[in-house]
Structure 1
Amino acid sequence: MKVNALMMDDKDNVVTCVADIAAGETVVYKKNNEVCTITAKEDIPYCHKIALTDIAENDEIIKYGESLGRTSEAIPAGHWVSHNNLFSVPRDYDSEMIKEEK
């Protein structure tokens, strides 16, 4: 099977499709060295994300091992994650930084 989506970090709950994916097509990605698949339940445009698991309303979308934001509605596995169902959440980056010891 040819890989047609990329997982950036093994903690991610989405992958990014590197081709247009039609509903019913198989999305193929690697998690570490394991080849994984999920069936697209709707069309996923090139360079957009697909949910790997059911994601509840107000849950975090994780990509690159980091939160991209929260969902505005539940997103079932195999569905498109887009600006229509994802919103940014302000972060306090200062509190997340590793403090240097003096």
Structure 2
Amino acid sequence: MSIDFVVHDADDSVGVVVVEGIQAGQTLTGWVMHQDQTVTFEVLDPIPIGHKLAIRDLAEGDTVIKYGVDIGRVVKPINKGEHLHVHNVKTKRW
């Protein structure tokens, strides 16, 4: 089985893409490292390698968790399988 993205823990809300060329409509397989499980779902956006994707639906104001750490807040709703980046997540630092 080929892994397309990795997630540190099942409580995280995002995974990180680890392959090139992810396009909308593809079915991706992710590895949840801490629980040693795989998850599979359709990605909704093209996502560059190293970028984040939502592994669950996120509402405006939700906290984004990556590697068990708060990395920001959602500024517009994000559906499972969508790209997370500066257009929909902002830091809480300022």
Q: For 2:70 and 2:91, how far apart are their aligned partners in 1?
A: 9
In the other structure, the counterpart of 1:10 is 10
Determine whether 1:88 maps to 2:84: no
Which is higher, the Rg of structure 1 or of structure 2?
1
Aligned-residue CA RMSD in angstroms?
A: 1.4
Q: For 1:14 and 1:78, how far apart are their aligned partners in 2?
A: 9
TM-score, normalization: structure 2?
0.89
Give the residue type in structure 2 aligned to 1:9.
Answer: D
Q: For 2:31 and 2:88, how far apart are their aligned partners in 1?
A: 25
Aligned partner of 2:40 among 27, 37, 42: 37
Q: 4+ runs of 1 displaced by more than 2 Å?
A: none
Q: For 2:41 and 2:52, how far apart are their aligned partners in 1?
A: 12
**Secondary structure of 1:35 counterpart:** strand
Q: For 1:51 and 1:5, how far apart are their aligned partners in 2?
A: 11
Deviation of residue 10 (structure 1)? 2.5
Q: For 2:85 and 2:38, how far apart are their aligned partners in 1?
A: 24
User: Structure 2: where are the runs of 5+ without partners?
Assistant: none
Give the alignment of 1:1-102 within 5 angstroms.
1-19=1-19, 20-31=21-32, 32-90=35-93
Deviations 1:53-83 (A, max 9, x none): 1100110111011110001100011100001
Give the residue type in structure 1 aligned to 2:23.
Answer: A
User: Structure 1: where are the runs of 5+ without partners?
Assistant: 92-102
The alignment covers a number of residue pairs equal to: 91
TM-score, normalization: structure 1?
0.82
Q: For 2:63 and 2:22, how far apart are their aligned partners in 1?
A: 23
